[in-house]
Amino acid sequence: TQLDKEWLQEYVDDWVSFYRKHTKEGKLASYIPILGKANPHHLGMAIHGKNGMIIRSGDVDTPFTIQSISKVISFIVACMERGVGYVLDRVDVEPTGEAFNSIMHLEMKSLNKPFNPFVNAGALTITSMLEGDTATQKLEPIYMLFEKMLGYRPSLNQEVYQSEYESSARNRAIGYYLIETGFLEEDLEITLETYFKQCSIEVTVDDLAKIGLLLACDGEDPNTGEEIIPRQIARITKALMLTCGMYDASGKFATYVGIPAKSGVSGGIVAVAPPRVRNQQFPFIEGCGIGVFGPALEDRGNSIAGIRLLKHIASQWDLSIF
C-alpha cells in the first residue's frame, strides 16, 4: 500500500544517509585514472520488487561505468551463443580467494583453465569466445541483452574506455599468459578492446536493480513473462555471483549478507534477492533486484558503504537465501 511504501522509503533514506558516513573510510579505484575523479561521498540505492514496488534513495541519478559487473553479462551472452557446456569446458566455476586481477594464481599447478568467469583471466577468456570478428560485432549481442533488460540501449563512456586502454598493462599481462596457455581464441587486441568497452558501458542504480530483478525471476521478464535469459543460465550465473561475485570477499558476503551479488571497481553492486516462501511480514517477499553505487571502495575493491548498506538491509528484511 501507499503507506507501506512511504514507511519503507523513509527507512531506506535513513539507512542511506547513515551509511554515507562510511564512504570516508574507503578509497576510489585510481588504477584506472579517470575512476579516481569520482565523488567519493556518493551513495545511492535502487530496489525494484517483483511486486512492482520501487524504492530509490541517495545519489540515484549519477551514471557510472559498469566495470566488472559486465562480466555477468558477457558470461550470459557467451552461454547463450555457445552453450553452457562449451563455456564451462574452458572456464571453471571455482573462487580463487585472490584479487580479481591476480597474476600469481594463473600459474598454480592445479590450474587447467581460468578459475571463474568473474576474475579477469576468466572474463577475458569469455570475451574472446563471443561471436564476431571485431569488437563492434562481439559487443552487439551484449548491447541487445542490455536493451531487453533495461528497456533502452546504454551508451559507452568513451573517456573511461580511453583511460582503461591507456592503463592496461596488467590486463595485457594476463592476456599474454592466456595466449601462451592456449585459452585466448583470437587476437588479444580484439579481446582487450571488447573487454574494456564492455566495462565502460554506463548504467545507473535503477539499471542494476532491473538486472538483479530479472535474475531473481530466473531470467523471465517480471512484467511480460518473456524468457530473456534461459533459466539454467540464470541459475548458474547466480551461483557464480554468490561464490565469486564480490572478489576475494565473496565468502564474507555470502556469510553476512547471503544473496548473489556482483561488484565493480567504479563502486556499483548488483544484488539479487530471489522470492522466498517464509517470513511473510518482510517487504519484497516476492523477490527484488538491488542496485547500489558508492565509489569509495574497501581494500578488496567493493563499495565500502554499499556492502554495509546491503548487509544491513539483508538482515533487517531477512533476505539471505540460506
**Known binding-site positions for substrate:** 68, 120, 164, 171, 195, 247, 265
Rounded to the nearest whole angstrom, what is the least distance from the CB of residue 245 to ligand GLN in the complex?
Answer: 11
User: Angle at which helices 231-244 and 70-82 pack, to 10 degrees?
Assistant: 140
101 vs 250, which CB is nearer to ligand GLN?
Answer: 101
Cβ proximity of 36 and 28 under 8 Å:
yes
3 vs 169, which CB is nearer to ligand GLN?
Answer: 169
Rounded to the nearest whole angstrom, what is the least distance from the CB of residue 124 to ligand GLN in the complex?
Answer: 9
218 vs 248, which CB is nearer to ligand GLN?
Answer: 248
Per-residue three-class SS string for 135-188: HHHHHHHHHHHHHHHHCCCCCECHHHHHHHHHCCHHHHHHHHHHHHCCCCCCCH
Rounded to the nearest whole angstrom, what is the least distance from the CB of residue 231 to ligand GLN in the complex?
Answer: 27
Residues 80-119 that bind ligand GLN (CB under 6 A): 100-101
Rounded to the nearest whole angstrom, what is the least distance from the CB of residue 67 to ligand GLN in the complex?
Answer: 3
Q: What are the angstrom distances between the C-alpha of 306 and each of 49, 247, 264, 280, 313?
A: 19, 14, 11, 26, 11
Q: Is 171 one of the binding residues for ligand GLN (CB under 6 A)?
A: yes
Q: Is 199 one of the binding residues for ligand GLN (CB under 6 A)?
A: yes
User: What are 156's strand-pairing partners?
Assistant: 201
Residue 252 has phi, psi (to 5 degrees) of: -65, -40
When CB distances to ligand GLN are compared, the closest residue is: 68
152 Cβ neighbours under 8 A, 6+ residues apart? none
Q: Is the dihedral of CA 110, 255, 290, 214 positive or negative?
A: positive
Residues 118-157 that bind ligand GLN (CB under 6 A): 120
Site string for ligand GLN, 5-44 (x = CB under 6 A): ----------------------------------------
The residues of the shown chain that bind ligand GLN, judged by CB under 6 A, are: 67-68, 100-101, 120, 164, 171, 199, 264-265, 301
